[in-house]
Amino acid sequence: MPAHIWALTVKEFLALLRDKVSRMALIVPPILQLVVFGYAASFDLNHVPYAIYNEDSGAASRDFLARFAGAEVFQPVAEVNSDAQAARLLESRDVLLVLHLGPHFTRDLLLHRSASVQAIIDGRNSNTASIALNYVSAIVQGFNEQWAADHGWGRPPAMLKIRAWYNPNLLSRWFIVPGIVGLLTLVVAMVVTSLSVAREREAGTFDQLLVTPYRPFEILIGKALPGLIVGLLEGTGIVLIAVLWFHVPLLGSLAALYLGLIFFLMSAVGVGLMISAAAATQQQGLLGAFLFLVPAVILSGFATPIANMPPAVQTLTYLNPMRYFLVILRGVFLEGDGVSLLWSQYLPLAAIGLLTMAAAAWLFRHRLY
Amino acid sequence: MNTRLVGLMRKELLQIVRDPSAIAIAFVLPVVLLLIFGYGVSLDAKHVLVGVVVDAPTPQTQSFVAGMRRSEYFSVQTFSDIHRAREALRERRINGIVWLRGDFSRLALTAGDAPVGVVVNGVDANDARILEGYVQGVWAQWLEREAQLRGGRLTLPVDLQSRIWYNPAVRSRDYLVPGLIAVIMTLIGALLTALVVAREWERGTYEALMATPVSMREILLGKVLPYFVLGMGGMALSVAMALWLFHVPLRGSALVLFGSAALFLLAALGMGLLISTAAKSQFVAGLIAIIVTFLPAFILSGFIFDIRSMPEPIQIITHIIAARYFVAILQTVFLAGNVWSVILPNGAALLAMALFFLGIVARLSRKRLD
């Protein structure tokens, strides 16, 4: 690299790392957040508090409830004996679920009749509610199979044998942690780039830079390199924590992962510099960073699948670099994808990177107003 | 109100009008974000691509597949043999496979327990679990139909009846939109104020302010009040969109909603001011605002991931996130009503956080130059 571009890069690094707070801000939060979010971000339920409303005193109801007591997912916290009590616990969010067994539970079962059990679930978080209902159904089904076998009820004509590929125990952590790797890499890239030009514009030093013999693309390289280098280093640290701390399997090749990381950083740095170059003040740069960051995360497929979005929004996601990076991360981590399978993800990233960087270089001299 | 304070607020308002980004933050940001997210964020999978393999077609298998085709949850694609279906699953062209083997009908009509092979792509564990639930639904209905064909009724030992309160149709949008309001208000609050004090430090106007007779309290009030009004405007806009665009029911009172929003906004503005006051440079304040606002509010607030399922130490950490209390109130007031046992403790926590942040800001902002 020509010495004068290197000098510019060094200056950018100094501007970024000069201040103790911004040095810390670059290193500590991403690592801390990965650990906290890695534990926090999960759709799996644990220790769901539930209340028992059992009007039956027979042995069958005790057997039935024992299955819930033995399940890791559920935790009994109260026994109630009226609908009103149950309602109060649900309403105040003390329990998520109330299991109501009627007075004839055991009698009905012994008479070879269906005994009904009511599960009342707090639907304020509807996703939690449907997952909890799935767990309840699974436990009820287990009880039914056992009871039918022990008491000669005959077998149903068919049964489901369900297997899940790539993630046999359906741990949502395996899905979420690679996603967080993408999230934090994006945040770091935005932090490094989105204010860098706006700050110089506000201080007036950008005009000075423009009258030097540097050409716009040289300034661009000088501004982009710190983002790429910091992003690569932090990305490596984050991947290491995902593998060594959270034990997410990394089945695919490192080459595929790093190729993805480099292309993704190119596009993220490009977007960040474009925002920064378009902004007149740091306030505007910060606003632009958020206006990109928030939709980029929410419409990436990180927590809610892109397939559930309406077609128009799905089309919009093709502009989102996070979308491609998440496919790469999950493919490499969990499905063992190599480089050859992922070109359809690398190329859009490279295209977004080149376009936004070109736009940023153009904006250096031709700002909107 | 005294004239000095009015003057300060006038100055702040002029600054807001001059750089329209503050108005954009309060009004454009919520509209854009709610539109994209309200339409874009959903956990309700529909028309999931599922491959079906039937080795030997019979009336029983036809009835099973017809059940899947009738369901709006599936988009069925038939494969001639299991290997092709597996290949399609590997290449992510389908999300799951349902396989009815050659001996399905023979076993179903004689011994029972004929296996239905189900394979799902488990990478997105939540999605996979939802898909499993859908297949179970189809299976249960098929059992019912088969029992009726044989002139009986299906009797399972335990017949589970479920009621999902507050959201019987299990529309994920009804719980995500109130939570989104909390995330968006977090951003508005922090973005509005994160740079305002740092900007004055950088430009030297803060020193000039110190030389005037205005007290520190008045300076802070002058900073908080205009942005508070802007933020509440953004809140009103968000609530209007939730009610009339996304048709989320509001079962509690609007008074409780806006009362808690006011408390939350004070806490969020206080946090922004704290960042700004502590950083003293817009650049550093901007970095911190990006890092500490959005992702924590997104992941640790209970907006999408349930706090009660997090490990104990993480649950404790969530208590320092103001959005957590606001999300709890919003989900309850929108979907359940005025449940005071939820509103009061969470409202008290918001009040405490607002006082804490604003108190620290007041302490840090003495008339000193270091």
Q: What is the pLDDT of residue B369?
A: 61
Q: Beta strand pairing status for A115-122 and B158-165? A: parallel
Instruction: Specify the pLDDT at position B1.
Output: 59
**Listing from the earlier edge strand, what are the strands of the sheet with B74-79?**
A158-165, B114-121, B96-100, B48-54, B74-79
pLDDT tier at B333, thresholds 50, 70, 90: very high
Contact A231, A265 (CB under 8 A): yes
Backbone angles phi, psi at A155, to 5 degrees: -100, 150
Domains of chain A: 3-41+172-365 (no CATH), 48-150 (3.40.1710.10)
At residue A80, the pLDDT reads 93
Residue A205 at interface with chain B, using a CB cutoff of 8 Å: no
User: Would you say residue B214 has pLDDT above 90?
Assistant: no
Residues B125 and B20 in one domain: no
Nearest CA in chain B to A292: B33
Q: Do B305 and A121 touch (CB under 8 A)?
A: no
Closest approach of A159 to chain B, Cα-based (Å): 5
pLDDT of residue A262: 95
Euclidean distance between CA atoms A323 and B125, whole angstroms: 18
Note whether residue B302 is domain-resident.
yes
pLDDT of residue B127 exceeding 90, the answer is no
Q: Contact A200/A206 with Cβ under 8 angstroms?
A: yes
* Residue A75 touches chain B, beta carbons under 8 Å: no
Q: What angle do CA A65, A66, A71 make, to 5 degrees?
A: 100
Both B351 and B240 in a single domain? yes
Residues B99 and B218 occupy one common structural domain: no
Q: Is residue B163 part of a domain?
A: no
ipTM: 0.80
Q: Which of A104-118, A145-159, A191-205 has the highest mean pLDDT?
A: A104-118
Name the domain boundary from B119, B149, B179: B149
Please tell me the distance from the alpha carbon of residue A220 to that of residue A56, in angstroms, as a whole number: 75
Contact state of A305 with B142 under an 8 Å Cβ cutoff:
no
Same domain assignment for residues B134 and B275? no
| B21 neighbourhood in chain A, CB within 8 Å | 281, 283-284, 287
- Name the residue among B172, B282, B300 with its Cβ closest to that of A126: B172
**Residues B306 and B321 placed together within one structural domain of the fold:** yes
Report the number of distinct structural domains present in chain B.
Answer: 2
For residue B161, being part of any structural domain is answered with no
Does the beta carbon of A244 lie under 8 angstroms from any beta carbon of chain B? no
Cα→Cα distances B52→A156, B71, B79, Å: 21, 14, 6
Residue B351, pLDDT score: 96
Q: Is the pLDDT of residue B153 over 70?
A: no
**Looking at the predicted structure, is the pLDDT value of residue B347 above 90?**
yes
pLDDT, chain A, mean: 87
Is the predicted pLDDT of residue A345 greater than 90, yes or no? yes
Angle at Cα B267 formed by Cα A302 and Cα B176, nearest 5°? 30
Whether B65 and B198 map to the same domain: the answer is no
Which domain, by its residues, includes B54? 48-149
List the CATH number of the domain containing B108: 3.40.1710.10
Same domain for B315 and B205, yes or no, is yes
If one counts every other C-beta atom within 10 angstroms of the C-beta of residue A151, the result is 12
Q: Do both B135 and B256 map to the same domain?
A: no
What residues are paired with A160 via a beta bridge? B116
Q: Measured between CB atoms, which of A46, A157, A293 is closest to B294?
A: A293
Identify whether residues B216 and B125 lie together within a single domain: no
Q: Is the pLDDT of residue A368 over 60?
A: no
Q: Is A137 exposed, middle or buried (0-12, 13-18, 19+ CB in 10 A)?
A: middle
Q: Are residues B283 and B215 in the same domain?
A: yes
Q: What's the pLDDT band for B367 if we cut at 50, 70, 90?
A: low
Q: Which of A92, A161, A293 sits opposite B116 (nearest CB)?
A: A161
- Identify the pLDDT of residue B199: 81
pLDDT(A101) > 60: yes
Q: Give the confidence band of A52 by pLDDT, cuts at 50, 70, 90.
A: very high
- State the smallest CA–CA distance between residue A176 and chain B in angstroms: 8
Establish if B17 belongs to a structural domain. Answer: yes
Give the start-end residues of each E strand in A80-216. Answer: 97-101, 115-122, 158-165
What mean pLDDT value characterizes chain B? 86
List, as one string, the DSSP characters of B6-36: HHHHHHHHHHHHHSTHHHIIIIIHHHHHHHH
Alpha-carbon gap: A363 to the closest alpha carbon of chain B (Å): 19
The confidence score (pLDDT) of residue B212 equals 81
Q: So what's the pLDDT on residue A169?
A: 79
pLDDT of the residue at A274: 93
pLDDT in tens, B285-320: 887 887 888 888 888 998 888 888 888 899 999 999
How high is the pLDDT of residue A321? Answer: 95
Residue type for A262, please?
I
Contact A287 B25 (CB under 8 A): yes
Please work out, in degrees rounded to the nearest 5, the angle formed at the alpha carbon of residue B279 by the alpha carbons of B273 and B283. Answer: 105
High-pLDDT (> 70) share of chain A, %: 99
- pLDDT tens digit string along B56-98? 888 888 999 998 998 888 889 999 889 999 998 888 888 899 9
Residue B311 covered by a domain: yes
pLDDT at B201: 81
Strand order in the sheet with A115-122: A74-79, A48-54, A97-101, A115-122, B158-165
Q: Is the pLDDT of residue B37 over 60?
A: yes
Same domain, B128 and B240: no
